[in-house]
């Protein structure tokens, strides 16, 4: 659910919520009706256990399984699975080969980019020392246990850095950055992107200062294309991490760590299969070989031909949807390195067509053939709306399916359920005590509501944080939503839907990537005017 509002072209912008809150529930309802025949090999493998595959017109998002591995990658992994090897010897050979291919000093395959960030941090605080390794994440007694992160680089993925147990020191200006360095500084972490490309807190500027302090810089370039020579290492970074299951089209569970040989080799010491904190981040021989093959193929692929192919697909879709009166389509070509792909923006007047971009995306996602699209941002009731198409992860022929389905929906929009006009049966103004039953625990929250007609506003007090809340009541149906973002990027969204009955509201709570819970709200016995 939460990924429907993410910026499709930005670097892993997994920090926003979605209005399509019902999608995880719809998906789980279909799973509940899965056939009992068991897993069947063949083109209907997923359907055999009740899972609906989809056409990916959104991009390399992990929640919809990233990219499709190249045929050569699949073949290499299948061959690797038929032989035993010593994993340390394998990773030494893979590291040397990655160095030759990428022009970095050394390379390593990890269990995804997030694991690469974790192992790189461990290398910077422990340096391959087993006495220190076995104590991670308890860094008591470590000579260096601090990581500097520029404020523009705080994000949901720096949890991979924090998981080692380091103390994060933020810097928002060049002066704060210089003051942040001290005897306990182990590393600087930078999130690749436009904010890190220029200015006093650019990667190059930070790396120059860090070099003077003898502190390595790690760049998180998860969704970027692989540049040779590497643009971040050329800017002075010591280490750079990539996702293997995005544009490189390696195994979805693999990542790359490239850079300074001593630190990359130390990162391997701090990785599984070696014991300690990282044992859960195991990388197998199949993923190691598959990731290496993906890099080999990256050097051989005709990237310009791929780009031209994407543009031709978008041109076909644009011509189809533009045949619908009132629909306009335009191609955008980004200049950055992250998720570098053209995209198609499709816009129309919601009042004229009688359907919003969000409704189109939901319809295509919940019907057959199933298509995942990013939605455009709404600009108010009856105003311009739309969807986008990202060809990055489409397979040949998918563009025709997407074009036909979009044309069908836009030329003959599905009938929208009219809004209910029943007068609210009660005024919900006041304090409500909420009991939330999660999958394996429970929590008590508080809602302070103010109702005017069918519109509700107020605050939602959670376990630690209070945030604004809004919603509505139509008849006996209540919908409330709240959201907030932690400073490091984690977004928490709560979408309460329930039925008012007998002075009590009960229903389902949608929590985006954290799935569902049940909730019951009762009026607090002591009411005060709000």
Q: List phi, psi (to 5°) of 21.
A: -65, -20
Going by C-alpha positions, the residue among 346, 330, 353 that lies closest to residue 410 is 353
Residue 486: per-residue pLDDT: 77
- Region 192-204: mean pLDDT is 91
| Angle of helix 87-102 versus helix 285-300 axis, rounded to 10 | 10
Q: pLDDT: is 339 or 305 the higher one?
A: 305
The answer to whether 122 touches 162, Cβ cutoff 8 Å, is no
The predicted pLDDT at position 224 comes to 95
| Sequence-distant (≥ 6) Cβ neighbours of residue 213 within 8 angstroms | 181, 185
Query: Is residue 200's pLDDT more than 50?
Result: yes
Mean pLDDT of 53-81: 96
| Cα separation values, 315 from 205, 296, 312, 328, 403, Å | 41, 31, 5, 12, 10
Partner residues linked to 387 by β-bridges: 346, 375
Tokens of 314: 């978008």
pLDDT computed for residue 37 by the predictor:
77
Summarised one tens digit per residue, pLDDT across range 407-419 is: 999 999 998 766 6
96 pLDDT more than 60: yes
Q: What's the pLDDT tens digit per position in 489-525?
A: 778 899 999 999 988 999 999 998 899 999 999 999 8
Find, among 65, 50, 126, 68, the residue nearest to 290 by Cα.
Answer: 68
Strand 384-389: give its sheet, edge to edge. Answer: 328-332, 343-349, 384-389
Enumerate the H helices of 159-256 as residue ranges: 159-162, 174-180, 203-212, 231-234
Q: What local confidence, expressed as pLDDT, does residue 17 receive?
A: 36
Query: What per-residue confidence (pLDDT) applies to 528?
Result: 53
12 touches 191 (CB < 8 A): no
The Cα 278–Cα 280 span in angstroms is 5
Neighbours of 347 (CB within 10 A): 17
**pLDDT at residue 375 in the model:** 64
- β-pair type (255-259, 328-332): unpaired
Confidence band, pLDDT 50/70/90 cuts, at residue 7: very low
- Residue with the larger pLDDT of the pair 9 and 104: 104
Give the whole-number percent of the chain exceeding pLDDT 90.
Answer: 82
Of 319, 268, 285, 248, give the one whose Cα is nearest residue 67: 248
pLDDT of amino acid 339: 86
The dihedral of CA 176, 179, 184, 190: what is its sign?
Answer: positive
Residue 128 pLDDT class (50, 70, 90 cuts): very high
- Res. 369: pLDDT tops 90: yes
pLDDT reported for residue 423: 75
Write down the pLDDT at residue 33.
52
Ordered alpha helix ranges (H), 159-283: 159-162, 174-180, 203-212, 231-234, 261-269
Instruction: Determine the pLDDT at residue 381.
Output: 47
Enumerate long-range contacts of 299-308, CB under 8 Å, 24 or more apart.
Answer: 299/101, 299/228, 303/225, 307/342
pLDDT score of 389 = 97
Question: pLDDT tens across 246-261, in order?
Answer: 999 999 999 999 999 9
Span 434-460, pLDDT tens digits: 999 999 999 999 999 999 999 999 999
Average pLDDT over residues 170-176: 96
Question: Coil, strand or helix: which one is 524?
Answer: coil
Give pLDDT, residue 35.
Answer: 60
Percentages helix, strand, coil for the chain (3-state, rounded to 5) are 35, 25, 40
- All domains of the chain in start order, with CATH: 2-53+303-411 (3.90.1150.10), 71-300 (3.40.640.10), 430-523 (2.40.128.120)
**Partners of 344 in the β-ladder:** 331, 389
Residue 187 structure tokens: 């590393």
**pLDDT at residue 27 is higher than 70:** no
CB-CB contact of 478 with 507 (8 Å): yes
Q: Which helix (H) or strand (E) holds 346?
A: strand 343-349
Please name which of 339, 436, 446 lies closest in space to residue 62, comparing C-alpha atoms. Answer: 339
Residue 303 has pLDDT above 60, yes or no: yes
pLDDT, position 195: 86
Share of the chain above pLDDT 70, in %: 90
What was the pLDDT predicted at 198?
87
91 contact partners, CB below 8 Å, separation of at least 6: 108, 109, 268, 288
Q: Which residue, 272, 285, 284, 282, is CA-closest to 133?
A: 272
Report whether pLDDT(69) > 80: yes
Q: Is residue 229 scored above 80 in pLDDT?
A: yes
Between CA 241 and CA 115 the distance in angstroms is 9
How many whole angstroms separate alpha carbon 150 and alpha carbon 140?
24
The pLDDT value recorded for residue 493 is 92
What gap in Å lies between CA 511 and CA 23, rounded to an integer? Answer: 11
Q: Are 437 and 410 in contact (CB under 8 A)?
A: no
289: phi then psi, degrees, rounded to nearest 5: -70, -40
Average pLDDT over residues 310-321: 98
Sign of the four-CA dihedral 296, 192, 216, 154 = negative
Report the pLDDT averaged over residues 351-365. Answer: 94
Looking at every residue in the chain, the average pLDDT score rounds to 90
Tell me if 214 sits within 8 A of 186, measured CB to CB: no
- pLDDT confidence bin for 21, thresholds 50/70/90: very low
pLDDT score at 491 = 84
Helix 398-411 with 303-322: angle, nearest 10 deg: 20
């Amino acid at each position: 659910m939460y990924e429907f509002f993410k910026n499709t072209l930005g670097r892993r912008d997994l920090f926003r919520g979605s209005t399509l809150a019902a999608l995880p529930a719809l998906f789980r309802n279909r799973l509940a009706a899965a056939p009992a025949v068991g897993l069947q090999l063949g083109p209907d493998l997923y359907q055999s256990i009740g899972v609906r595959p989809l056409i990916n017109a959104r991009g390399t998002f992990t929640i919809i399984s990233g990219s499709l591995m190249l045929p050569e990658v699949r073949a290499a992994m299948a061959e690797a699975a038929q032989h035993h090897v010593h994993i340390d010897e394998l990773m030494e050979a893979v590291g040397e080969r990655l160095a030759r291919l990428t022009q970095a000093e050394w390379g390593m395959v990890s269990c995804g980019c997030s694991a690469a960030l974790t192992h790189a941090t461990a290398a910077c605080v422990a340096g391959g020392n087993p006495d220190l390794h076995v104590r991670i994440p308890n860094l008591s007694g470590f000579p260096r246990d601090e990581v500097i992160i520029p404020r523009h680089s705080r994000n949901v993925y720096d949890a991979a850095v924090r998981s080692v147990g380091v103390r994060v020191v933020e810097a928002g200006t060049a002066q704060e950055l210089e003051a942040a360095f001290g005897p306990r500084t182990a590393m600087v972490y930078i999130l690749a992107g436009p904010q890190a490309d220029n200015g006093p807190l650019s990667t190059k500027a930070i790396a120059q200062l860090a070099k003077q302090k003898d502190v390595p810089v790690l760049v998180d370039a998860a969704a970027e294309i692989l540049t040779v020579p590497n643009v971040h290492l050329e800017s002075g970074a010591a280490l750079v991490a990539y996702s293997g299951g995005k544009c490189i089209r390696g195994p979805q569970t693999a990542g790359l760590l490239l850079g300074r040989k001593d630190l990359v080799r130390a990162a391997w010491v701090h990785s599984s299969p070696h014991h300690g904190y990282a044992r859960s981040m195991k990388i197998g021989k199949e993923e190691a070989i598959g990731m290496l093959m993906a890099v080999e193929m990256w050097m051989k692929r005709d990237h310009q031909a791929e780009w031209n192919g994407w543009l031709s697909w978008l041109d076909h879709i644009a011509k189809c949807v533009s045949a619908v009166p009132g629909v306009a389509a335009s191609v955008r070509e980004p200049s950055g390195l992250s998720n570098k792909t053209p995209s198609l923006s499709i816009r129309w007047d919601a009042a004229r067509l009688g359907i919003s971009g969000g409704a189109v995306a939901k319809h295509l996602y919940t019907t057959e053939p199933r298509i995942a699209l990013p939605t455009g941002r709404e600009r108010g009731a009856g105003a311009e709306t739309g969807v986008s198409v990202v060809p990055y992860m489409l397979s040949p022929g998918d563009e025709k399916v997407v074009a036909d389905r979009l044309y069908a929906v836009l030329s003959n929009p599905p009938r929208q359920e009219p809004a209910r006009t029943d007068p609210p049966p009660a005024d919900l103004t006041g304090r409500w005590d909420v009991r939330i039953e999660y999958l394996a625990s429970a929590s008590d929250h508080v809602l302070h509501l103010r109702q005017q007609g069918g519109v509700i506003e107020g605050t939602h007090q959670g376990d630690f944080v209070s945030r604004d809340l809004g919603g509505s009541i139509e008849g006996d149906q209540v919908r409330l939503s709240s959201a907030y973002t932690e400073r490091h990027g984690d977004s928490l969204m709560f979408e309460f839907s329930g039925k008012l009955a007998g002075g009590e509201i009960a229903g389902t709570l949608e929590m985006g990537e954290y799935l569902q819970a049940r909730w019951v709200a009762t009026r607090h016995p002591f009411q005060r005017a709000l």
